Chain A
Amino acid sequence: MLRAISKDWLGAGFVTVIGLAILFFVPVLFDLFEVLQMTKYVVLALFVLSLAYIWGFGGILSFGQAGFFGLGGYAFAVSSINMGQTTVPFLIAIAVAALFAAALGYFMFYGRLSDVYLGVVTLVVTLILWKLINHTAGPEYVIGTARLGGFNGIPSIPIMTLPWQPDQEMEPSHMFQYFMAILIGVYVLLHILIKSKFGRIAISIRENEVRTGLLGYDVRLYKLAIFTIGGAIGGAAGAMWATYQTFVDPNIFSLEWSALCLIWVMAGGVGTLFGPMVGVLALEYLSFQLGQTDFINNLIIMGVILIFLVLLLPKGLFPTFRDFVTKHWNRRHE
């Protein structure tokens, strides 16, 4: 048992050390444009963790993770414009997304929706939010001093500040480090959660809800908690996205974001936390590089790559790599 525990923690520790190295060295070794680009990947990595956790470790396949991402973004935008600071708005964004996830989850799980309908409901709710925000262009849609702006979005969102320096906007390199620290923190917390009894029960639910219920666990309550945690992480990512861009518009709720989130998790590997983060980095970097070429539409190339990924590496990039290394390691040490 000790061997199994240490192996698990060794992997998480390794990822954390790599994360810390990136946190410290990226701003030193890379130029401003690359640091900004990597800040984007960090925010998206946090966004993908929200789905990687609920899908990979709770068996909840949400097609509407962009809903929480968008709510977090809008809640942060509105509250930071009104309050003139970013620390409390960041917490408000997390709370709004978590509360919305809890309310939606309550109706879905206590209404005993099956997995297919759950996917449909999450997708539809996100599209409703997208439609709703799109129709708030008029001057009457104001919260405090923040105009929602409809399809024009909300511009001039304050740049993130440190809690103890609310008047000083972060430099891009500091914002990268701050976001990276949040990403590492969430990764470690999720790892601890997964290895806790709660996490094992969540995995039991993923494997078989009926069996878990037979052991005396209220499956609906656990699923609600898992879904709410996912919503909170999605909301945090949305707030970070809003302050990173200093702008947010209804497209944050679009189907494209939800689909991308699913694709990143699938490409990186369902059932891991590290894999989906690798998925974001690999696919977004590829998309960025292809976007710089003009000989072929990069979406076509991305589509072909994704089809090959699903067909040739159905487990995803990271689990396939891990299995390959483990197999060769075991063979060499037999």
Chain B
Amino acid sequence: MTKVTDEHILGLISKGGADLEHGYRLMMECYQQRLYWHIRRIVVAHEDAEDVLQDSLVNIYRGLSRFRGQSSLYTWMFRIATNESLRFLRDRHGENTPFEQVREKLIGTLWQETGPDSEEILVRFQQALLHLPNRQRVVFTLRYYEEMPYEEMARVLDSTVENMKTNYHYASKKIKELMTK
């Protein structure tokens, strides 16, 4: 079976009409699960991740005809999903709510979402991630879970490679400290 490539998907999309629909379906098959887990790691609750994923998928469709390939398809989609996730958190918790308060709410959600059978170290690890500021948390998850190159991360977050490296370094250090306690 031929592996579906981004070039194949973009080729279909550029033709428009029924081919665009086909390209969109293929894109969902290839990337939906990765997008979901990326969103889930940011917003924590499954129901919230479900909503943000739907919004992201619709926005991706809306933007397909305008996508010009300045970045990879994967980077572009992750940028949309990341923006939607961060916007969700801002809307849900309020722009001016102190970080500590938001953190405690998300930790509470984490414990609700993970049952007694969940592996304790995995829950503690996610809890440690929630101690990071939102953007730093996104930097860490993109690098750690997606193994995204720093150049691509800089495009996702509209930043610089140096900023991404610095944030990842400090995030890793903070998580190690929290997990070692």
- The reply to whether chain A is a binding partner of chain B is no
B residues contacting A by CB (< 8 A) are: none
A residues contacting B by CB (< 8 A) are: none
